[in-house]
Structure 1
């Protein structure tokens, strides 16, 4: 990442006939057009069966770690008429191995020459400068995401952006601007909030909005899991390089668990409630994090939504503690329970009678987001959903800030008054970083 003025980046030249083909193709996928009602997305590694005439849509991957390799595998699995043509990662040594494994798994869909394997912190720029790239998948540490997505939109690319899309209010504002630019460009931005494409979530929330549980009174949400990885520093690493390597443990890169991981629940609650909360009040702490980590390992937040509706939210990563991912919504006529992963959803009335029940299939949802993106590009019907995900990401930031500072923090403050900007102004991958610290309520200031 650099400090050059990205507004000066010109849109790459393109082949008119190719763009004409991409804009006149088939209709948008059923998943996007009907919000997945009655759609059976592909499961697991079931191969795509659709065929498409004309040149393939060309994809690049930025960020070749576990989530990045999962994202590109999902896209290549569910889409035909696509081809992976470029890859970038800070660690160039990852790229050739991933290219080989993807080529073996997806015959005919991987065509990445050695000169299209871009290493280093500026590798993503080589991708954005490549006229042969139509769609970019971003799976880098979240702290980089706002600028990377903005740069991609400025370069005229279609984008898949993993969640969260920001870790602070400064990044949120960048996302809002990128969203508007994508609308003006006619390019898509699909985000990695896969529960919005998981059928049991879609159907349960549709019924909630139709009044199946009456008026919503309150809700509880939990993302409680076990420990998280921690990487050992290699002697040759600079401070900054190590923090990027071990990014989950540094707040400017991950946003802490509530932002990086638990944003899924927060996004679901915002979806159910029809928008973000008015305020947040919370607490938490750290018991098991390794030395040098800035993360807390537990956070509990009371989110106040319009209409005096309270959501009790908890997240933690503590080895040996009970795990649960759930959203329980209480209404005047019943209760809805929507669980994470493949655990399904159910709705009951106040007498306990079952109104709705559906199994979950998170694998299909992971793939559906990539099908919707490619179908939107092919049909010239852009999906631009960055703003929604940025709002949910900032809702998670709101909770973190409330817990870290020990203050009651409002949505108005975090969106309009906060000056919090975590990304280092003096960013240098080879440079030093200040000694790591963790937040202490009452001492950590609200900014």
Structure 2
């Protein structure tokens, strides 16, 4: 279906501006490098990879046009959620955060204090929701948009309830940690589409100007047919939480969620998905099979691996090498490469 590339302020806030709430992680990340095997530099008129008008190119202004005010609620008040709240407030005039929810009260109150000090945004006491069911109370409150930035395990159930209550939403990536979560998200997405609700996810490359420009060039046939590529997300060790006296197992794991597979989905889903998603999006190819190995060498808590290397065979027979690492003291590389004929 052809999509018109014309965005009103309202629709922009439901797509590009709202998506900008995720920010650009890994600011030093390289733009996807485009290359072609052709030795004839004078040759022109490559066959387009996609038919003109059949793909969507978003407009990415710095701020949305003024329009109807929007009231947002944030579920998950940790580091990523806090960043999403401040990014949302910077995306346009007339937008505000009116409700916060988290499993832990100190997270809610700490973010409410920051919003007041830095943005002069007051979160009323009765709009601060705490506990495992706090997300329902927030969704049921008077908000137009829900920003869901909790540990990944909770996302499918949150998404299901958000759509049930007819609210637009931003869902931080990833969306699920297993096949059960996947099926729930896909079923809920169909319901959201039927209700004409807007759902934006945290796959950041789709909203990064350099990647959007690369997508346009590749779609126009700049590098011909896709023959392969490589994606890297090699960086240092990430954060962990030291268990404190009085914490039960669930409290400890949720506070240290990044390092537990049942909560985060492990490193490929939680972080490296940005790179894999970029290749799939740019190439238009889906993986047919994968051969992978990985291990946990330096992880201090949890049960996640800290390195993977994977050979993806795409549906056209091309290979894409995927590598990711979270270990200090190594050479870092966050970049994506795509090869054409």
TM (norm. structure 2) is: 0.82
Equivalent position SS for 2:170 = strand
> Do 1:223 and 1:324's aligned partners in 2 also have CA atoms closer than 8 Å?
yes
User: Would you say how many aligned residue pairs link Structure 1 and Structure 2?
Assistant: 295
State the match for 1:298 in structure 2: 307
- Partners of 1:28 and 1:139 in 2: CA distance: 21
225, 247, 252: which one pairs with 1:242? 252
**1:278 aligned partner:** 288
Could you tell me which residue of structure 2 aligns to residue 326 of structure 1?
A: 335
Residue 414 of structure 1 corresponds to none
Cα displacement string for residues 325-369 of structure 1 (whole angstroms, at most 9, x for unaligned residues) = 11111111xxxxxxxxxxxxxxxxxxxxxxxxxxxxxxxxxxxxx
Secondary structure of the 2:250 match is: helix
* Counterparts of 2:185 and 2:10, CA distance in 1: 28
1:79 to 75, 92, 97: 92
Alignment of 1:276-425 (within 5 A): 276-290=286-300, 292-332=301-341
Structure 2 CA distance for partners of 1:223 and 1:164, relative to 1, 3 Å: same
2:66 corresponds to which of 33, 40, 51: 51
Aligned-pair CA distance for 1:105: 2.9
Contact 1:83 / 1:111 at 8 angstroms: preserved in 2?
no
Q: Tell me if the contact between 1:77 and 1:106 (Cα under 8 Å) persists in the aligned partners.
A: no
Tell me, yes or no, if the aligned pair for 1:223 and 1:262 is still in contact at 8 Å. yes
2:128 corresponds, among 105, 117, 130, to 117
Q: Is the CA contact 1:63–1:88 (under 8 Å) kept in the aligned structure 2?
A: yes
CA RMSD of the aligned region, Å? 2.0
Specify the alignment match of 1:4 in structure 2: none
Provide the rounded CA distance (Å) in 2 between the counterparts of 1:59 and 1:27.
14
State the match for 1:140 in structure 2. 150
Q: Which consecutive residues of structure 1, in runs of 5 or more, have no partner in the other structure? A: 1-24, 43-47, 333-447
Partner Cα separation in structure 1 for residue 197 and residue 213 of structure 2: 28
**Contact 2:72 2:147 (C-alpha < 8 Å) held by counterparts:** yes
Q: Residues of 2 paired with 1:326 and 1:285: CA distance?
A: 22
Unaligned residue ranges in structure 2 (runs of 5+): 1-7, 17-54
Q: Distance in 2 between matches of 1:157 and 1:97?
A: 26
Tell me the distance in 2 between the aligned counterparts of 1:186 and 1:314: 38
**Is the counterpart of residue 69 in structure 1 residue 52 in structure 2?**
no
1:88 to 73, 87, 101: 101
Residue pair 1:35, 1:197 contacting (<8 A) in 2 also: no
Alignment of 1:243-262 (within 5 A): 243-262=253-272
The corresponding residue for 1:217 is 227
